Amino acid sequence: MSLLLLKLILTPSLIGAASLAGRKWGDAISGWLVALPLTTGPIVFLLALTHGTSFAAETAAGILAGGFSLAAFVLVYGRLAARLTWLPTLACASLGFGLITLIQENVRFPLVPLWAGVVAAFLLVMQLLPRGLASTSTSETLPGPWDIPLRMILATGFVLLITGAAPALGPHLAGLLSPFPLFTATLAAFAQHLHGPAAAIKVLHGLLMGLFSYASFMFTLSLLLEPAGIAPAFAAAIAVTATFQAAALWLLKRGMS
């Protein structure tokens, strides 16, 4: 199978399955699902195949560092959602992501402190998200049948863009840009527009619960890709992710009960 065909099959399949599950089980579960490395994982895998494990491992470390940018996005969106409509809220959150990414462009952290710092950032933002907002609803209809195919197209295009531009960007910058929360932005904006800021906060909370597995997935890949090879590194990363995601899902369900 050619790499292009793999890109065109792998990413839309993952995104489509996660989107259907999230639509069935609600805002918080949607956020938890999009925290999975459904675009960043394929990006690292494809870069390992095309540019080698060293390049891919450095990209994974960059993606892990991008967790700081993700934390900034979530914090800004969460703090502004109750004050602004979805469009300026999304614009400000995206600017926050871009600013932290720009700051990190020429910065490298040792791997273990980097993972610990990203996890600490997620925990801090979780504490800073607004609580007790009242849910609202509008007469708007939910997204139609075009919604999930559009997400699949956007995800595939993003993977093609990052993997194609990675040699020019370099592994670190490609990694930093890869975690841009394309699907979180879509879910949060729709939730805020249709049901108010409380629904958007549920998406963000679910995302944060799942981001611990994202950080651990990238940490494992960055640590193991070079010494162990592609298949063992991804097998270990997937096992770690499954463990963290199961714990996060249990906590989410407990909080919703």
Global confidence as pTM: 0.83
For the chain, the farthest-separated pair of C-alpha atoms sits apart, in whole angstroms, at 55
Tokens of 164: 């194609």
Instruction: For residues 175 and 185, give the distance between their C-alpha atoms in angstroms, rounded to a whole number.
Output: 19
**What pLDDT shows up at residue 240?**
94
Instruction: For residues 133 and 236, give the distance between their C-alpha atoms in angstroms, rounded to a whole number.
Output: 39
* Per-residue pLDDT tens listing for the chain (257 residues): 455 565 567 666 666 666 666 566 666 676 777 778 877 888 899 899 999 999 999 999 999 999 999 999 999 999 999 899 989 999 999 999 999 999 999 989 999 999 999 999 999 999 999 886 655 554 444 556 666 777 677 767 777 788 788 888 899 998 999 888 877 887 788 778 878 898 889 889 888 988 999 999 999 999 999 999 999 999 999 999 999 888 888 887 776 55
Domain that residue 241 falls in: 3-131+140-256
Instruction: For residues 153 and 78, give the distance between their C-alpha atoms in angstroms, rounded to a whole number.
Output: 27
Question: CA nearest 176: which of 250, 69, 257, 79?
Answer: 69
Instruction: For residues 172 and 65, give the distance between their C-alpha atoms in angstroms, rounded to a whole number.
Output: 9
Overall domain count for the chain? 1
Tokens of 43: 């990006």
**What pLDDT shows up at residue 97?**
95
CB 121 within 8 A of CB 75: no
CB 77 within 8 A of CB 90: yes
